[in-house]
Structure formats: structure tokens, C-alpha cells
Amino acid sequence: MKTRDKILKKSQDLFNERGERNVTTNHIAAEMGISPGNLYYHFRNKDEIIYELFLQYQKRTASLLMAPDERLLTYSDKMGYFEGILDNMWDYRFLHRDLEQMMDGNPLLRESYGEFARLVLRQGRRIYERLAESGLVEADEDAIEALIINIWVIVSSWVSFLHTSGVFNENGAITRDLLRKGIYQIIQLEAPYLRGEARDRLPQMKAYYGSPDTSS
């Protein structure tokens, strides 16, 4: 792995573990056993590191939320979207937790994130339209639009909610198990619109995402 990629990986790990605001470029360099000058050769400042990690997250999310045109979506596809969202929330949880602060000092991130949000909403809308074509969802255009926006609100703010509210975790610690509860909220939102196999398996979905994950 190249030094630049190692810097990104270590930064991501530290941001997730400690919170972005508590990690400096000196911390990153020290954890890697390199000089600050070596780090600055690859990234001029922490904002550049954050932006590059955001681009990774954006690319991964856009790839995840693709709906195939050559076939109908299945229940397995639906569950795959949920698992992919959960993985993203966990692997890039610092972005969800500290996003507003990071955007305040990073105009490029703010502009790019707005474009990213609009892309995700379009892709999410298309997924639910395809789920409707598959008979797994029954909802009109307005209902799908509201559903997608509400799902986006949950996904983008769930980590911050956990960190600040103490509703599920008094000390504000974030675990993958707690992120699963965010997916459970999404399932509750979409439940009235589910049909076919998705409705038949609704109790199974609720049990899976509403219960502790012993594999975490």
C-alpha cells in the first residue's frame, strides 16, 4: 500500500475512533511513525484528507445504490442495500457524526456534499420505483419522495443522534449494533408500503435489525 493510501486509512481509523475534531495531522503522523513533513508531502492539511475520504465514501455509496436495468429487483437485493448502508455508516461514521463542523471549515466539502445528497436521493428514488415494479413496494410518487427524504434524514443523522442524545447509549459511544437500530427505523418507515415477499418477511427484518448482532 502506498504511503498516501496508508495516511488515508490511518486517518479514517483515528477519526472514527476519536472523532475528527480530536485528531490532528501530527497525531496521524505519530501513529504512522512518519514525520509531519512526510504527511504534508501528500496532503497539505487535514481538510484535504477529509475531502479525499469523503470522495471514497461518495464513490462507494453511489456504487451501492445502483438499480440494475436488466432485471427486476428481489428481496435479496433489498437486504443488500440495507447491509451496504450499514457498512457505510460504520466505516465512515466520523463523516456522519462531525459533518456539519467539517463543512463549516471546508467549502469544497460543503459544495460536493450537497451534490452528493441530491445524487443519493435520485438513486434512492429509482430503487423504490424498481421495487414497486417488482411488486415489493406499493406507493405513489409522492409517497416515494417523502419516504426517500425521511430515509436520507435517518441515514445522514443517525450517528449524530446516537452521539448526542444518549437515548440508546448514555456515554455516547457508537457501536455497529447501535447503527443497526438506524436500519430498523428505516424498516418501520417503509413497512406500510411493503408488499409480497417484503411484507411476508417484515417480522424477520424487524427481528434481525432490532436485535443485538452477536457477530459484532
- The residues spanned by each domain of the chain are 1-44, 47-210
CA angle 162, 190, 137 (to 5 degrees): 150
Task: Look at residue 213 in the predicted model and tell me its pLDDT.
Answer: 47
Return the pLDDT at 85: 95
Which pLDDT belongs to residue 183? 96
Q: What is the pLDDT along the chain (216 residues), one digit of tens a residue?
A: 899 999 999 999 999 999 899 999 999 999 999 999 999 999 999 999 999 999 999 999 999 999 999 999 999 999 999 999 999 999 999 999 888 889 988 899 999 999 999 999 999 999 999 999 999 999 999 999 999 999 999 999 999 899 888 888 777 688 999 999 999 999 999 999 999 999 999 999 999 998 654 343
Grid coordinates given for 57: 465514501
Q: Are 130 and 67 in contact (CB under 8 A)?
A: yes
pLDDT at residue 212, rounded to an integer? 53
Fold (CATH) for 1-44: Arc Repressor Mutant, subunit A (1.10.10)
Q: Which pLDDT does position 214 carry in this prediction?
A: 39
Read off the pTM: 0.90
Where do we find the cell 461514521?
93
For 190-215, give one letter per residue: b (16+ CB within 10 A) or e. Answer: beebbeeebeebeeebeebbeeeeee
What CATH number labels 47-210? Answer: 1.10.357.10
